[in-house]
Amino acid sequence: MKIQRLLSLLGDGDRIVPYHQSELMEAALAKAGVPVKLLRIPGGDHGPTFPGAVDPPDYKAEMVKWFDVHLRKVGGGQ
Protein backbone atom coordinates (compact mmCIF):
# COMPACT_ATOMS: atom_id res chain seq x y z
CA MET A 1 0.00 0.00 0.00
CA LYS A 2 1.41 3.36 -1.02
CA ILE A 3 0.78 6.39 1.19
CA GLN A 4 -0.55 9.17 -1.03
CA ARG A 5 -1.08 11.86 1.63
CA LEU A 6 -1.07 11.97 5.41
CA LEU A 7 -2.42 14.18 8.16
CA SER A 8 -1.04 13.10 11.51
CA LEU A 9 -2.35 14.46 14.82
CA LEU A 10 -0.19 13.52 17.76
CA GLY A 11 0.27 14.68 21.30
CA ASP A 12 3.84 15.45 22.24
CA GLY A 13 3.11 13.79 25.59
CA ASP A 14 2.01 10.51 23.98
CA ARG A 15 3.48 7.62 25.98
CA ILE A 16 2.59 4.99 23.37
CA VAL A 17 3.74 6.62 20.12
CA PRO A 18 6.75 8.86 20.71
CA TYR A 19 6.31 12.24 19.03
CA HIS A 20 9.80 11.99 17.54
CA GLN A 21 8.71 8.97 15.48
CA SER A 22 6.03 11.10 13.85
CA GLU A 23 8.59 13.79 13.06
CA LEU A 24 10.79 11.19 11.38
CA MET A 25 7.86 9.84 9.37
CA GLU A 26 6.80 13.35 8.34
CA ALA A 27 10.33 14.13 7.11
CA ALA A 28 10.64 10.86 5.19
CA LEU A 29 7.27 11.23 3.49
CA ALA A 30 7.92 14.88 2.62
CA LYS A 31 11.27 13.87 1.09
CA ALA A 32 9.41 11.28 -1.00
CA GLY A 33 7.05 13.99 -2.27
CA VAL A 34 4.02 12.92 -0.25
CA PRO A 35 1.78 15.74 1.00
CA VAL A 36 2.06 15.43 4.76
CA LYS A 37 1.21 17.52 7.77
CA LEU A 38 2.02 16.76 11.39
CA LEU A 39 -0.12 18.66 13.88
CA ARG A 40 1.40 18.71 17.36
CA ILE A 41 -0.96 18.67 20.34
CA PRO A 42 1.03 20.20 23.23
CA GLY A 43 0.96 17.97 26.31
CA GLY A 44 -1.51 15.57 24.68
CA ASP A 45 -1.33 11.89 25.50
CA HIS A 46 -2.47 8.97 23.32
CA GLY A 47 -6.08 8.85 22.16
CA PRO A 48 -8.70 10.75 20.19
CA THR A 49 -9.23 13.39 22.89
CA PHE A 50 -5.52 13.91 23.62
CA PRO A 51 -5.82 13.72 27.43
CA GLY A 52 -3.66 16.24 29.26
CA ALA A 53 -3.44 18.58 26.26
CA VAL A 54 -2.48 22.15 27.15
CA ASP A 55 -4.16 24.77 24.95
CA PRO A 56 -4.55 22.41 21.97
CA PRO A 57 -4.98 23.80 18.46
CA ASP A 58 -8.38 23.46 16.80
CA TYR A 59 -7.47 20.06 15.42
CA LYS A 60 -11.00 19.32 14.21
CA ALA A 61 -10.94 22.42 11.99
CA GLU A 62 -7.47 21.38 10.76
CA MET A 63 -8.87 17.95 9.81
CA VAL A 64 -11.74 19.51 7.86
CA LYS A 65 -9.34 21.86 6.07
CA TRP A 66 -7.03 18.96 5.19
CA PHE A 67 -9.92 16.85 3.88
CA ASP A 68 -11.21 19.74 1.80
CA VAL A 69 -7.83 20.35 0.22
CA HIS A 70 -6.71 16.75 -0.29
CA LEU A 71 -9.81 14.59 -0.55
CA ARG A 72 -12.33 16.82 -2.27
CA LYS A 73 -10.20 16.90 -5.44
CA VAL A 74 -9.61 13.11 -5.28
CA GLY A 75 -13.30 12.28 -4.92
CA GLY A 76 -14.43 14.98 -7.32
CA GLY A 77 -16.89 16.28 -4.71
CA GLN A 78 -18.55 19.63 -4.75
Query: Residue 52: its pLDDT value, please?
Result: 96
Query: Residue 74: its pLDDT value, please?
Result: 58
Q: What is the C-alpha separation between 27 and 31, in angstroms, rounded? A: 6
Written as tens digits, the pLDDT of the chain (78 aa) is 788 889 999 999 999 999 999 999 999 999 999 999 999 999 999 998 999 999 989 999 999 999 999 887 655 555
Q: What is the C-alpha separation between 72 and 78, in angstroms, rounded? A: 7
Predicted structure pTM score: 0.80
Query: Residue 73: its pLDDT value, please?
Result: 65
Q: What is the C-alpha separation between 19 and 10, in angstroms, rounded? A: 7
Per DSSP (E only), the strands in 4-67 are: 6-11, 36-41
List, in order, residues 6 or more apart from 6 with CB less than 8 Å away: 25, 26, 29, 34, 35, 36, 37
